[in-house]
Amino acid sequence: MDPNPEKIIIGIAELVVVHNPAILVTIGLGSCVAISIRDPVARFGGLSHILLPSIAESNNKSNPMKFADSAIEMVVDILLQKGCQKNRLEAKIAGGASMFNISGNTINMGEKNIAAVKKKLDELKIPIVASDTGSNYGRTVEFHIASGIMYVKSAFHGVKEI
């Protein structure tokens, strides 16, 4: 196995699906959520950095990778095309912070994103095996396809391994 696998950066409203060995990285998750989905047997995995909960509720549908529901469907479709089996897929999620405390503001996009991600994964019967979501701080994620480990880094909370 390659001791220094390639690191691939995934930006906001992007997704990547790759075969071992690779490390998928997304930086600066605030209210956004990173969703990793992996088939440990086929050794494929994907990471998506979503910005909003639902494409159905949006006026601008030009980038389906921006939304929890459509991005998750896209990753799963690509994994299945690559020979992964749906019953082996597992997910890890991170992000969904409440970054701004505005008094009287009841719209918490982080919470809505987390709920949308969980709903879509549940619909697709893909278990969430680990998560680091919510609170009020940003995160950076490194998802290691080979091991399935997601490292969640934050300025004031160090590194969590999930």
Of the listed 23, 24, 32, 152, which one is catalytic?
A: 32
Helical residues (DSSP H) of the chain, grouped into ranges: 68-81, 109-123
Count of C-beta atoms within a 10 Å radius of residue 58 = 15
Q: Which tokens is 63 given?
A: 């980038």
CA–CA dist 17, 3 (Å, integer): 20
- Kindly give the pairing relationship between strand 6-9 and strand 22-29: parallel
Active site residue 84: no
Joined together, the tokens standing for residue 110 give: 């982080």
The set of catalytic residues is 32
